Structure 1
């Protein structure tokens, strides 16, 4: 377990449950006064997930998982003060903490803005918070922070991109932001704490490298530009194509050889290293490249070059005046890859730090403690428009 969560070097109080649902797993963490006392990842088989064709069926599987976690770790419902859920697929939304409300539930349950397992987390959190309040009422217990409530923080669909970055050469298309917001923003907070800054007045590029690779420009705390983690606007990744040439893609779509689903799979899920080698494990690709296997060596060079080009491109957003480059995500554990990228772009940055891995559970807990402490006020989600409150 990592060290205790603090805010401005001060200890925190409260018990927080964190729920993070992914495509094939459910992750949970439980924190008491800033210390993670237990955590678990429950994996779901492909067959189990495929049988659950609608939201309610998926919800039943994940609810069973969280119940198992609470039971195995002997966590009484009434002692939980706040529940944090991973943010789901919804627009429009700014970064930050949001309370789960009726609008959010409607958008997520209907899959209005996209279908992803992350959309289960807020609904699960809200349902469980309601159950906790009912248990407390039945037992005559008052929570030390009032009613238990559910929140999300820094959803992947968080979008504060500036208008000039949204235009393509085709008016019908609009650039949108979809990056690893939760982990990227947490890494920026970690970096600022490491250098002794409480105020975020830095220009920072974060490069998150995992199954998806996203690069985001953080200007004084606002993410003004980023690549898109899913729609083919960014670098090659272990399982995604990255940006594709438009006309060949059009020709492929109308060739009659592929269904829409097959084309989509070439871009997300079956692209990148998966398309070339049948694996999304970059450790395998790296090992083969180091052995000198030509096709693996070539792919690794292209992988590094792609990421470096997008990093360099984002520096123009702030006229080249970038304070730091931060690497994160599972692939950031690879010195071979980070060194190769730094060799190409290192001259652009006065400070480069590596924060390998991704700790979304801890990041969500940190946001929860900011709510309990009163440091952050939760925003209100509106399904039709942005509300900056």
Structure 2
């Protein structure tokens, strides 16, 4: 008997649009980018207040394209607003809905609408709703969590969905399972994530929300703490500093743009500031790749590059020249986020993976040897 081709609707809410796709197994049968006018979004006080608005637009887009909700076997949303958990596919439950609605992780981002929209459609049809490898996926090894300040620990916020799917797909292309491989996996786009994957677990990475790692188009990357203190003492606010970590740092602060292609072109045309920023970003990416390779003891099966900036062949070449001695470098321009969400649901529906239960209890709360009074 042929394996059932599960029909899955995936929803990835972003700042100005919501990406929607219908998949049958690995094949996308319908995708659409539902745009949201800034003037419409401005009417809502908080991210979660946008729920009825976004649901309505998605329903209209599905109807316009002849997609009936009743034909869908499962709904998957991007899992924002949640507390740290191991990677995997999770069923949307009441705790998850509460955390997504209020943004329990302290980060207000449209991704927290993902579980809410998936649940709304699931409630209409009686079908299951899931999230897959949410942004707060946390599989760090213990050594990666430590800092030199008692009670202050490292946490990671990464493009976990695309990172893990890229690794899963590359392992399959090698005829191997993700759980049998060691990779350094990068997502290089508006934000840049670099991570170490050891036998199916993302054991280390850089907190790109917290100001770690490399400079990115909208993010400052890692900074000397003493220099940050000087920056604050010079009259800047903590709010300004936090925005540098996520929205107004990197190319935005240095060059007044977040468009990587523009910066690359300006650098090629001899713009000294653009050339310096572009070169420094490439250098920092390679330095971070080297750090993740050391986490894996130098036993690396591949360096995998994904994200929108990987369409830039010059960037890929620069990474190959500096890091190709570590392991083969493979480029996957763009992202597999919609495919990753569909694949996670299909694994559960087919019985190849058991859906996790979101408890709302962070996967890590500290080390007793340092936290006990």
When normalised by structure 2's length, the TM-score is: 0.93
Unaligned runs of 5+ in 1: 1-9, 134-147
RMSD: 1.7
Say if 2:258 is the partner of 1:280: yes
CA distance in 2, matches of 1:201, 1:56: 39
Match of 2:247 among 262, 269, 287: 269
Aligned to 1:201: 180
CA distance in 1, matches of 2:363, 2:237: 36
Say if 2:203 is the partner of 1:224: yes
**Cα distance change of structure 1 residues 101 and 282 upon mapping to structure 2, 3 Å threshold:** same
> What is the CA deviation profile of residues 341-373 of structure 1, one whole-angstrom value per residue up to 9, with x for unaligned ones?
221121111x22111101211111111111111
Q: Is the Cα–Cα contact under 8 Å of residues 203 and 318 in structure 1 kept in the other structure?
A: yes
When normalised by structure 1's length, the TM-score is: 0.89
> What is the CA deviation profile of residues 187-210 of structure 1, one whole-angstrom value per residue up to 9, with x for unaligned ones?
111111111113631110001101
Say if 2:40 is the partner of 1:48: yes
How much does 1:58 deviate?
A: 1.3
> What is the CA deviation profile of residues 241-278 of structure 1, one whole-angstrom value per residue up to 9, with x for unaligned ones?
0001111211222333x333322222221111111111
> What is the CA deviation profile of residues 283-328 of structure 1, one whole-angstrom value per residue up to 9, with x for unaligned ones?
1111111112211111111111010101101111122111110010
CA distance in 2, matches of 1:372, 1:281: 40
Aligned to 1:118: 111
Q: Which moved more, 1:158-167 or 1:34-43?
A: 34-43
CA distance in 2, matches of 1:129, 1:111: 21
Counting matched residue pairs gives: 362
CA distance in 2, matches of 1:245, 1:83: 43
CA distance in 2, matches of 1:58, 1:31: 25
Q: Is the Cα–Cα contact under 8 Å of residues 83 and 104 in structure 2 kept in the other structure?
A: no
Aligned to 2:162: 183
SS in 1 for 2:223: coil
Aligned to 1:98: 90
Q: Is the Cα–Cα contact under 8 Å of residues 26 and 65 in structure 1 kept in the other structure?
A: no
Aligned to 1:72: 64
Q: Is the Cα–Cα contact under 8 Å of residues 26 and 339 in structure 2 kept in the other structure?
A: no
Structure 1 segment 127-206 matched on structure 2, within 5 A: 127-133=120-126, 148-198=127-177, 200-206=179-185
Q: Is the Cα–Cα contact under 8 Å of residues 286 and 319 in structure 2 kept in the other structure?
A: yes
Match of 2:78 among 72, 75, 86: 86
Q: Is the Cα–Cα contact under 8 Å of residues 286 and 296 in structure 1 kept in the other structure?
A: yes
Aligned to 2:314: 336
